[in-house]
Amino acid sequence: ARPIRLTDYRAPDFVIPETRLAFDLHPTQTQVKATYRIERRGAADAPLVLLGERLILKTLRLDGVEVAPEAYALTPECLTLSGVPDRFTLEIDVEINPQDNKMLEGLYMSSGRYCTQCEAEGFRKIVYFPDRPDVLSKYTVRLRAPKAGFPRLLSNGNLIDSGEEGTFHYAVWEDPFPKPAYLFALVAGELDVLEDRFVTMSGRTVDLKIFVDPGMSARAAYAMDALKRSMRWDEETYGREYDLHLFMIVAVRDFNFGAMENKGLNIFNASLLLADAQTATDLDYERIESVVAHEYFHNWSGNRVTCRDWFQLCLKEGLTVFRDQSFSGDQRGHAVQRIKDVKMLRARQFPEDAGPLAHPVRPAAYLKIDNFYTATIYEKGAEIVGMLKTVVGAETYRRALDHYFETHDGTAATLEDFLSSFEAVTGQDFSPWLKWYVQAGTPVLSLSATYDGDTQRLTLTVSQMTPPTPAQAHKAPVPIPVRLGLLSGAGAPLSFRFAGETVPEALFVLTEARAQWVLEDVTEAPVISALRGFSAPVKLTLTEPEAHRFARFRGDPDPFNRWEAAQSLAKALILDPHGAAADYAEALRATLTDPTLDAAFKALMTGLPTEMDLAQSLTPVDPAFIHTRRKAFKAELAAALKTDAEALYAALPAETTFSPDAASAGRRALRNALLDLIVAAPDSDADRSEATSDQAGAQAVRRPEGEAPLERDAAKPLSAKQKIAKAHYHDARNMTDMMAGLSALSQIHGAAYQDALEDFYARFKSEPLVLDKWFAVQAACPHPETLSRVRRLITHPDFDRKVPNRWRAVAQAFAANNPAIFHDASGEGYAFIAEEILSVDRFNPMTAARLIEAFGGFKRYAEPHRGLMQAVLERILGTEGLSKNVAELAGKALA
Ligand code: DPP
Ligand code: ZN
């Protein structure tokens, strides 16, 4: 297949100012009738090329006259008409089969309902159209379906007509805002609705409707609340007002993405919309809040101003992620939010940027754009917007964004347009920032300091280097904002003079490969606190004594750097085979007992770097070493803090009434982080006899299938920590605590874990979203027995590969959240995931391809992992009938 290149971009030859669609909905034979008003913009002899896949073309009429078959060319991917006039009306009738559509792109059925997913290139699976984001059209949509079973007929915009035709009924929707086809949506089926209202800043009333499975509307209450807060926030923070009289969200079970910002009719994966105390965790609530905000914010950053082509994807995604992160920070606290965002960036984007799948935030070429809904485009894209805000300041940033929205409203824009808004309001040149968009790889920022006590001068020498990435051997410097402060040796803040002013902290921007910054009036040799708030998405190297990190750990006034210091210490100590936990435990004890710090922050401080984090700091990666060392360090830490952790845990009783607010969630997070630490402690002598339960489980791998491996443990008395975890699980009044209990039990393994799994299944077997968690916790259990367990899970009657949530609950949870077992030296984990990718690729390539990432970094791994992963990738790539999606990523991973 030939790649699509940014440099090949050409403006469309035809525009379609008006689109009329009529759907006669039928599970296997839906009739779609499209009427387009078309105008030529390009060369007089340019043919009209419409894209369409998996469509049965019925009729084609140009200005009312049927087009003869010899007057058009039809291939499996497009319909070409030559010699068309400059202005004309084209009518196209096609037939499609929603029931058979398991790709979940275009029009498909989920739980007996019709729904759509058109981003990026799904509209062409509904009808022939110039399916590209720079063709904006005004849509009028007529839906017709049987009244029975399909009482709701929804599409974008405003409902302008509806009526009955015998046992059928219809609805006509008109969206007054021109939009690209990827924002088209329809939903038809039986749905309950939760309704509310929002009065906009100019006094208009907007009806808000969230549609969910019958009986589930109470679970949409939190999403509704988040929606109203998002709408207010976008008015107050960005001056952006909602523009239709109706805003609808629909939750569906089968969905490739998290959610989709279709104009006026967002469609959500039910897992990111439905929540109540009994079925959703605090993390679910947090994600619902941020995704509801994200999709709502797209109404301006994405819909009103859309993307000229898919290379500009981060124009809408990076900006919208930055906007939703800022919203979440305002709702939940900026320090904690920033730490979580950076954790996510490092867990997903940094590895991507360091491996064969590295690509710029604006890629230069692709085979399947679906493969570029990546952490780089979303999260790194958001970081760039954040850096721009940091360097220009909040007020100028707001003026630049106002300029951007006003100048490009109703158009399909580019990243250059975005940057030029910053130029327009500052008069400065922002072209150096384009480097961040076109250059892949994570820059390494090196910092060294020399202090002169006589002159009280601190000289910082900084330099940057971005390592080569595929197809980009040489990199230019990028602008790097560095927020920097100083601490005394005792850990107190130390002010200094810079540019004539005495300041507690300064912002430097490194624009060249190298620079020197001189700080005056520095009264003692300081501890440097650089890159505060993670002011740039770079890897910082700073050679300094361990004591400096401890000083920041204990008292950096910047909470991000306080957390960062703890993490980097933990990383170094874990990766050092002789690293001891005693000093770290002391500093953590001080943090945990500090009454001025909030619980959510303490919870984050209690968490150690993940095995994935650690893998990034070790070459070659040895997953077993990382797992063993992390476990040993955690056990040592837990032993040192046992008394404190147990006392703090006991002092934080489980809350009886559940509130999803940030402060309550923070308390639960801390209590659950303490539980995690408590169960990591080695068993005391009294419990020693129980320590064998781990080995009993390990032997289960070699037992024949079907034999209950843990049964014989059931009679054993429980160890102290098993008792705590079991009580935590059984006493839980909400899903957050329940999952924390279950996950703690999964860490210990043994009979109590098995009992809890059975109990959980019995309670929640009819709750699909909760059952996803039940599958995921088992797939992520770091016990060797998981290798055989995942094979049993995929034969479970509730397992269904055709439902992406359920499939990801096993396959993704195992590949991404269980490094020790996924990377088992036998290669069985790799083989399992390879088989899963190939199975799902047969019907849902978009979702299957996402899992290739698990093998992406194979070259960094030690043998036998490296060779085994390479063989698996080769096997995948050699498979006949492979999708373009999987072929593109597997090919790149191997290159
Ligand atoms: N555009 C969607 C999102 O927001 C992806 N389906 O992120
Ligand atoms: Zn988005």
Q: Which among 881, 823, 879, 830 has a CA at the least distance from the CA of 851? A: 830
CA of 306 to the centre of ligand 2 (A): 12
Contact call for residues 359 and 376 (beta carbons, < 8 A):
yes
Q: Which among 554, 475, 484 has a CA at the least distance from the CA of 518? A: 484
What is the predicted pLDDT for the residue at 654? Answer: 86
Question: Hey, what are 415's tokens?
Answer: 């990243």
Q: Which residues surround ligand 2, an ion (CB under 5 A)?
A: 317, 320
CA of 231 to the centre of ligand 2 (A): 16
Phi, psi at residue 169, to the nearest 5°? -145, 165
For residue 257, the ligand 1 atom closest to its alpha carbon is 6
CA of 117 to the centre of ligand 1 (A): 10
pTM of the model: 0.97
For the stretch 757-790, pLDDT in tens is 999 999 999 999 999 999 999 999 999 999 999 9
For residue 119, the ligand 1 atom closest to its alpha carbon is 6
Pocket of ligand 1 (CB under 6 A): 119, 257, 260-261, 294-295, 317
Helix ranges, 607-687 (H): 611-615, 623-640, 642-651, 662-678
Greatest alpha-carbon pair distance for the chain in Å reads 94
> HSE (CB half, 13 Å, CA atoms) of 475?
24
What is the predicted pLDDT for the residue at 47? Answer: 98
Encoded amino acid at 622, one letter: D
Helix, strand counts (H, E) of the chain: 30, 34
Question: Hey, what are 394's tokens?
Answer: 């909040």
For residue 294, the ligand 1 atom closest to its alpha carbon is 4
Question: Hey, what are 319's tokens?
Answer: 């900006």
Question: Hey, what are 879's tokens?
Answer: 């498979």
Q: What is the C-alpha separation between 884 and 877, in angstroms, rounded?
A: 10
- Where does 411-454 show beta strands of DSSP type E? 412-413, 444-452
What is the predicted pLDDT for the residue at 61? Answer: 98
Q: Which of 117, 184, 260 to mutate to test the pocket of ligand 1 (most atoms within 8 A of CB)?
A: 260
Helix (H, G, I), strand (E, B) or coil at 120: coil
What is the predicted pLDDT for the residue at 544? Answer: 96
CA of 487 to the centre of ligand 2 (A): 39
Q: What is the C-alpha separation between 154 and 177, in angstroms, rounded?
A: 17
CA of 129 to the centre of ligand 1 (A): 21
The C-alpha torsion from 375 through 378 and 381 to 387, rounded to 10°, is: -100
Take atom 6 of ligand 1 and give the residue whose Cα is closest: 260
379 is catalytic: no
Q: At what angle do helices 751-764 and 768-779 cross, to 10 degrees?
A: 160
Helix (H, G, I), strand (E, B) or coil at 418: helix
Q: Which of 53, 121, 295, 785 is catalytic?
A: 295
**Residues in the chain with pLDDT values less than 50:** 690-712
Q: Which ligand is nearest to the CA of 259?
A: 1
Question: Hey, what are 626's tokens?
Answer: 């990382």
Segment holding 398, helix H or strand E: helix 394-408
Contact call for residues 31 and 92 (beta carbons, < 8 A):
no
Q: What is the C-alpha separation between 790 and 41, in angstroms, rounded?
A: 56
Q: What is the C-alpha separation between 695 and 688, in angstroms, rounded?
A: 13
Q: What is the C-alpha separation between 804 and 185, in angstroms, rounded?
A: 20
Q: Is 839 exposed, middle or buried (0-12, 13-18, 19+ CB in 10 A)?
A: middle
Q: What is the C-alpha separation between 712 and 682, in angstroms, rounded?
A: 22
What is the predicted pLDDT for the residue at 861? Answer: 98
User: Which residue, chain included where needed, has tokens 């700091």?
Assistant: 617
Give, as one character, the DSSP assignment of residue 710. T
Ordered structural domains, the chain, with CATH: 4-190 (2.60.40.1730), 581-609+618-683 (no CATH), 722-764 (no CATH), 769-895 (1.25.50.10)
Contacts of 353 (CB under 8 A, 6+ apart): 376, 380, 440, 441, 442, 469
Phi, psi at residue 731, to the nearest 5°? -85, -5
- What ipTM was estimated for this complex? 0.98
DSSP lists the bridge partners of residue 464 as 445
Q: What is the C-alpha separation between 737 and 655, in angstroms, rounded?
A: 10
Q: Does a cis peptide bond (omega within 30 degrees of 0) precede residue 804? A: no
Give, as one character, the DSSP assignment of residue 337. H
Q: Which ligand is nearest to the CA of 324?
A: 2
Q: How far is CA 161 from CA 154, 170, 171, 483, in A?
A: 12, 8, 6, 57
Contacts of 841 (CB under 8 A, 6+ apart): 848, 849, 882, 883, 885, 886
Contact call for residues 724 and 683 (beta carbons, < 8 A):
no
Take atom 3 of ligand 1 and give the residue whose Cα is closest: 260
Bin 563: left if φ > 0, else alpha if -120 < ψ < 50, else beta. alpha
Q: What length does the chain have?
A: 895
For residue 316, the ligand 1 atom closest to its alpha carbon is 1
